């Protein structure tokens, strides 16, 4: 028996396919996932997370404890324009952002190494979810971890003890977006 022939789609064609207009896009429903950045300061990482929030249709990105300049070259290059249509806000501190999300009924989960952390696949998500990611050097602050309902740990099997914050965001956001879509989909008839 022969293998089925797979047709390759040109990446250029796929990237240039037409999208809905920005007004229609802004009106599209988003997934019940809020992302909070706790003292993430590097423009490239912020831009990459804008792009991830757009790709996964996260409802909002909250940047806490860092000044954001959307004109920064590294931010713009990594975001590829998504900083202009991804809903976002700035807060003084991640503690304030997490307390507000908790008051709005969000389950709070940080991506961090902790004694009680679980792997992404073991995290029992209850939507809406607020995902907190920490800065490049200090991670998620202990004050924020203390407010969390869960802590998610990405296993580090190599020599390094951590991965880039935008890479960690991609791993966990994809998993959460997949689960949110399944939870929100009507049951098959």
Q: Where exactly are the structural domains of the chain?
A: 22-182
Residue 90, judged by CB atoms within 10 A of its CB (0-12, 13-18, 19+), counts as middle
State mean pLDDT over 133-142: 92
Q: Could you tell me the pTM of the whole model? A: 0.88
Rg (CA), the chain: 18
Distances (CA, A) of 98 to 63, 95, 152, 160: 11, 5, 16, 29
Share of the chain above pLDDT 70, in %: 89
CATH topology of domain 22-182: Alpha/beta knot (3.40.1280)
Per-residue confidence at 10, pLDDT binned at 50, 70, 90? low
pLDDT of residue 15: 59
Per-residue confidence at 136, pLDDT binned at 50, 70, 90? confident
pLDDT of residue 148: 98
154 pLDDT more than 80: yes
pLDDT of residue 18: 67
Contact criterion met (CB below 8 Å) for 44 and 77: yes
Query: Which pLDDT tens digit goes with each residue over 60-94?
Result: 999 999 999 998 999 999 999 999 999 999 999 99
């Amino acid at each position: 028996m022969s293998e089925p022939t797979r047709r390759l789609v040109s990446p250029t064609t796929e990237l240039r396919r037409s999208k809905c207009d920005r007004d229609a896009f802004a009106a599209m429903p988003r997934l019940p996932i809020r992302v909070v950045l706790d003292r993430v300061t590097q423009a490239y990482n912020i831009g990459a997370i804008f792009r991830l929030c757009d790709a996964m249709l996260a409802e909002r990105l909250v940047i806490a404890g860092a000044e954001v300049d959307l004109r920064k070259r590294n931010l713009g290059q990594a975001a590829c324009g998504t900083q202009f249509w991804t809903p976002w806000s700035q807060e003084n501190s991640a503690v304030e952002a997490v307390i507000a999300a908790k008051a709005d009924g969000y389950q709070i989960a940080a991506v961090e190494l902790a004694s009680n952390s679980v792997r992404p696949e073991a995290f029992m998500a209850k939507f809406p979810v607020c995902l907190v990611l920490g800065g490049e050097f200090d991670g998620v602050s202990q004050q924020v971890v203390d407010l969390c309902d869960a802590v998610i740990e990405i296993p580090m099997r190599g020599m390094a003890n951590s991965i880039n914050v935008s890479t960690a965001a991609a791993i966990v956001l994809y998993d959460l977006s997949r689960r949110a879509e399944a939870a929100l989909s009507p049951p098959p008839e």
